[in-house]
């Protein structure tokens, strides 16, 4: 057991000091902006849900190994949410009568899983979830791929830094049964094998395949299917590929955004056809960043009405690993734009009057909380990242003026205090 450290967060969780929080806020706001430009609306739900909804819909790994569970005073078994999609399905099902389908929803919850902490995995993470509920059309897949591409590019990424790898579990099922000879009752185990295919050497994979019941010929056939890439689609009957939204996306104007890859199956139990993952292409961080897929009837746990959907979850841990790997993380914002400094304590009220004017103009403005010498306050303002200071002196204030100093050049001038906001906005290049 790890020794308790009173100033450290619980293992697998993180503290975010102001500089790091500034970077995170900038990144997330760029992503929100892109998502909302596609017409998605933000929602949220409770941290606690009945444990049964995850045990029914999230797959064995989450349900049996990663849930944080508790029993409340009424004897109900609850869980801290490990993911948002089951909650979203419950909310959609509960409000289906008042929704105009299809709906575009997104959220940014924090989620909890009892993971073994390592690079890319922690026990508490934040995840942007984006879903479309109520449509089976291939245009949903196409929109998801276009949205992901736009989100990544809003962070400075390009086609040399990431790739969207896409598959269809129904197409893969047909390939496994018709080309490899996998029995229907073996598909779940073979999917699990495919999901870890790129993590192990061929000897380990062959041994795992034998445990499932595949012979050497079937293992060779499975290897060929997974290596086939897009050419696999030509080996399957038209009635299989013709019904695939992934195939339709590959024939659309957005085909250049995605790469068909039979290795992608996704581990979560509720995905039924389209599945996709976004990968970092850097050799330093060559891993999946996030992913998603289509679910035919996730809301079926809560309503007899069939409500199909498609979505993805973008976790913060792998996202920031990606940004750091490619040098794309923004710099932290400064504490303030301007500091208003009274020369004496008697001028505190005057300084606050000026500060209120600057804040009304949209400038991030602070006033010293404790009296210090002017030189020390100017130094503190510079270290806080302020671009300017406004000095409130006794004689100048009597004359209705203040001194505005540009901390970059050191130049300063007196201006009427009513014009301080305009002067500083011009100095910052943000004439408001």
Mean pLDDT of 141-160: 97
**67 and 88 part of one domain:** yes
**251 and 204 part of one domain:** yes
Q: Give pLDDT, residue 432.
A: 44
The CATH number of residue 30's host domain is 3.30.930.10
Domain final residue, candidates 272, 302, 325: 325
Residue 28 lies in a domain: yes
270 assigned binding-site residue? yes
- Mean predicted lDDT score pLDDT of the chain: 93
1 assigned binding-site residue? no
301 has a pLDDT exceeding 90: no
Q: Which of 115-119, 250-254, 374-378 has the lowest mean pLDDT?
A: 115-119
Q: Give pLDDT, residue 6.
A: 86
The CATH number of residue 382's host domain is 3.40.50.800
pLDDT in tens, 388-412: 999 999 999 999 999 999 999 999 9
**280 and 388 part of one domain:** no
Domain final residue, candidates 293, 325, 357: 325
**82 and 159 part of one domain:** yes
Helices (H) and strands (E) in the chain, counts: 16, 17
Give the pair of three-digit tokens for residue 237: 């009957």
**64 and 155 part of one domain:** yes
Domain final residue, candidates 273, 295, 325: 325
Q: Give pLDDT, residue 85.
A: 86
Phi, psi of 277 (to 5 degrees): -140, 145
Residue 352 lies in a domain: yes
Residue 366 lies in a domain: yes
Which run of H or of E encompasses 312?
strand 309-315
**118 and 164 part of one domain:** yes
Residue 73 lies in a domain: yes
What are the C-alpha distances in Å from 194 to residues 174, 237, 244? 14, 22, 20
**181 and 250 part of one domain:** yes
136 has a pLDDT exceeding 90: yes
Residue 5 lies in a domain: no
266 assigned binding-site residue? yes
Q: Which of 211, 203, 169, 202 shows the shortest CA–CA distance to 187?
A: 169
**297 and 423 part of one domain:** no
CB proximity list for 260: less than 8 A, separation 6 or greater: 165, 166, 167, 229, 230, 232, 233, 246, 250
What dihedral do alpha carbons 35, 37, 41, 44 form, nearest 10°?
A: 30
pLDDT classification of 431: cutoffs 50, 70, 90: very low
DSSP state letters, 185-248: GGHHHHHHHHHTGGGS-HHHHHHHHHHHT--HHHHHHHHHHHH-GGGGGGGS-HHHHTT-HHHH
**320 and 370 part of one domain:** no
Residue 282 lies in a domain: yes
What are the C-alpha distances in Å from 92 to residues 65, 99, 300, 323, 342? 27, 8, 11, 33, 56
**290 and 317 part of one domain:** yes
Q: Which pairs from 172-175 meet CB under 8 Å and 24+ separation?
A: 172/225, 172/262, 172/265, 174/236, 174/237, 174/240, 175/225, 175/232, 175/235, 175/236, 175/262
Number of domains into which the chain is organized: 2
Q: Which of 152, 148, 195, 203 shows the shortest CA–CA distance to 172?
A: 195
Q: Give pLDDT, residue 298.
A: 74
| Residue range(s) defining the domain that contains residue 89 | 18-325
Q: Give pLDDT, residue 86.
A: 87
85 assigned binding-site residue? yes
3 has a pLDDT exceeding 90: no
Q: In the beta sheet, which residues pair with residue 106?
A: 42, 130
320 has a pLDDT exceeding 90: yes
Q: Give pLDDT, residue 388.
A: 97
Q: Which of 147, 114, 155 shows the shortest CA–CA distance to 129?
A: 147
Residue 355 lies in a domain: yes
Mean pLDDT of 327-339: 96
Q: Which of 1-15, 153-167, 183-197, 342-356 has the lowest mean pLDDT?
A: 1-15
84 assigned binding-site residue? yes
5 assigned binding-site residue? no
pLDDT in tens, 258-299: 999 999 998 766 789 999 999 999 989 989 999 999 998 878
349 burial class (0-12, 13-18, 19+ CB within 10 angstroms)? exposed
Q: In the beta sheet, which residues pair with residue 166?
A: 260, 276
**357 and 284 part of one domain:** no
115 has a pLDDT exceeding 90: no
Compute the distance between CA of residue 6 and CA of residue 306 in angstroms, rounded to an integer: 50
Q: Give pLDDT, residue 1.
A: 54
* Ramachandran region, residue 402 (left: φ > 0; alpha: ψ -120 to 50; beta: rest): beta
**315 and 374 part of one domain:** no
Check if the beta carbon of residue 341 is closer than 8 Å to that of residue 380: no
Residue 2 lies in a domain: no
271 assigned binding-site residue? yes
């Amino acid at each position: 057991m790890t020794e308790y450290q009173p100033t450290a967060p619980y293992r697998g969780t993180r503290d975010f000091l102001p500089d790091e929080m500034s970077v995170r806020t900038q990144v997330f706001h760029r992503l929100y902006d892109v998502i909302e430009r596609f017409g998605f609306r933000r929602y949220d739900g409770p941290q606690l849900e009945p444990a049964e909804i995850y045990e029914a819909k999230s797959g064995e790994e989450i349900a049996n190994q990663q849930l944080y569970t508790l029993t409340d005073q009424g004897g109900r078994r609850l869980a801290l949410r490990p993911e948002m999609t089951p909650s979203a399905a419950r909310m959609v099902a509960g409000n289906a009568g008042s929704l105009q389908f299809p709906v575009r929803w997104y959220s940014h919850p924090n989620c909890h899983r009892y993971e073994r902490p390592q690079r890319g995995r922690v026990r508490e993470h934040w995840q942007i979830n984006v879903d479309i509920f109520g449509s089976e059309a291939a245009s949903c897949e196409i929109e998801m791929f276009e949205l992901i591409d736009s989100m990544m590019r809003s962070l400075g990424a390009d086609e040399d830094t990431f790739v969207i790898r896409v598959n269809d579990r129904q197409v893969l099922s047909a390939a496994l049964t018709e080309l490899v000879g996998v029995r229907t009752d073996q598909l779940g185990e073979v999917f699990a094998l495919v999901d870890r295919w790129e993590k192990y050497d061929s000897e380990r994979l062959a041994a795992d395949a034998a445990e499932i019941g595949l012979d050497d010929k079937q293992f060779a056939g499975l290897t060929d299917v997974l290596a086939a890439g897009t050419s696999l689609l030509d080996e399957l009957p038209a009635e299989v590929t013709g019904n695939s939204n992934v195939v339709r996306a590959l024939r659309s104007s957005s085909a250049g955004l995605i790469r068909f890859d039979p290795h992608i199956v996704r581990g979560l139990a509720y995905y039924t056809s389209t599945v996709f993952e976004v990968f970092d292409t850097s050799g330093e961080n060559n891993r999946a960043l996030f992913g998603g897929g289509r679910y035919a009837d996730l809301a079926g746990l809560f309503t007899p009405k069939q409500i199909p959907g498609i979505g993805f979850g973008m976790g913060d841990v792998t996202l920031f690993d990606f940004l750091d790997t490619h040098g794309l993380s923004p710099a932290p914002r400064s504490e303030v734009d301007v500091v208003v400094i009274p020369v004496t304590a008697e001028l505190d009220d005057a300084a606050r009057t000026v500060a209120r004017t600057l804040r009304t103009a949209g400038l991030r403005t602070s006033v010293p909380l404790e009296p210090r010498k002017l030189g020390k306050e100017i130094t503190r303002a510079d270290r806080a990242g302020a671009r300017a200071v406004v000095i409130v002196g006794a004689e100048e204030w009597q004359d209705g003026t203040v001194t505005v100093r540009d901390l970059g050049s050191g130049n300063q001038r007196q201006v009427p205090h009513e014009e301080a906001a305009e002067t500083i906005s011009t100095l910052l290049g943000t004439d408001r």
